[in-house]
């Protein structure tokens, strides 16, 4: 009886330890990612991005081309689990909001870098979409963690400086 109790305690301790490790490392991963995004956005701030269909400031430019990028970011296990409680009481699931922001920033940064690598300094007709790569699993809410999947596309062109 006592040994069963101890075994259960150990099991519970392991689960708590795993959640703690996931929580702390999730925080570190997010901070590092944000720092990388800040640096990348500073480097590419000269690239003008709009969601206009026309080519603002570059109507006569040649060599316009399609650019597209993706990013798949996961919310760590601990915070995914915490979000289930938000589902009960309602309200904003801040961690998911912040992860979605990071995923979009990452995809947009990749788009800007693609435009830059092709010698362009502007992107227009920006489209931001999400996609589901886990299929029915996520729909049935069987999935343990939350995945944010972003697909962005646009047309890169050159604005005369």
- For position 127 contacting other proteins by CB under 8 A, the verdict is yes
Q: Can you list the positions of beta strands (E) in 13-158?
A: 48-49, 65-74, 122-130, 147-157
- For position 10 contacting other proteins by CB under 8 A, the verdict is no
- For position 20 contacting other proteins by CB under 8 A, the verdict is no
Instruction: Give the number of residues in contact with other proteins, rule: CB under 8 A.
Output: 55
- For position 122 contacting other proteins by CB under 8 A, the verdict is no
- For position 111 contacting other proteins by CB under 8 A, the verdict is no
Helix (H, G, I), strand (E, B) or coil at 87: helix
Structure tokens at 31: 């901070």
Interface residue with other proteins among 4, 90, 136, 161 (CB under 8 A) is: 136
- For position 129 contacting other proteins by CB under 8 A, the verdict is yes
Structure tokens at 20: 């703690």
The Cα-based distances of 74 to 28, 59, 69, 152 in angstroms read 14, 39, 17, 18
Could you tell me how far CA 39 lies from the centroid of its own chain?
16
Q: List residues near other proteins by CB under 8 A.
A: 18, 21-22, 25-26, 29-30, 33, 53-55, 58-62, 64-66, 68-77, 79-80, 99, 106, 124-125, 127, 129, 131-139, 144-145, 147, 149, 151, 153-155, 157
């Amino acid at each position: 009886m006592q040994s069963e109790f101890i075994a259960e305690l150990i099991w519970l301790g392991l689960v708590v330890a795993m959640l703690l490790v996931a929580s702390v490392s999730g925080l570190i991963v997010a901070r590092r990612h944000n720092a990388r995004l800040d640096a990348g956005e500073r480097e590419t701030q000269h690239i003008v991005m709009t969601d206009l269909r026309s080519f603002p400031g570059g109507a006569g430019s040649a060599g316009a081309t399609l650019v597209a990028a993706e990013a798949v970011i996961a919310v760590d296990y601990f915070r995914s689990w915490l979000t289930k409680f938000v589902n009960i009481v309602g309200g904003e699931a801040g961690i998911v909001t912040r992860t979605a922001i990071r995923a979009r920033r990452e995809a947009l940064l990749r788009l800007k870098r693609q435009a830059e690598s092709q010698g362009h300094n502007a992107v227009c007709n920006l489209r931001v979409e999400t996609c589901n790569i886990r299929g029915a699993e996520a729909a049935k809410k069987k999935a343990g963690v939350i995945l944010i999947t972003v697909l962005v596309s646009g047309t890169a062109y050159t604005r005369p400086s």
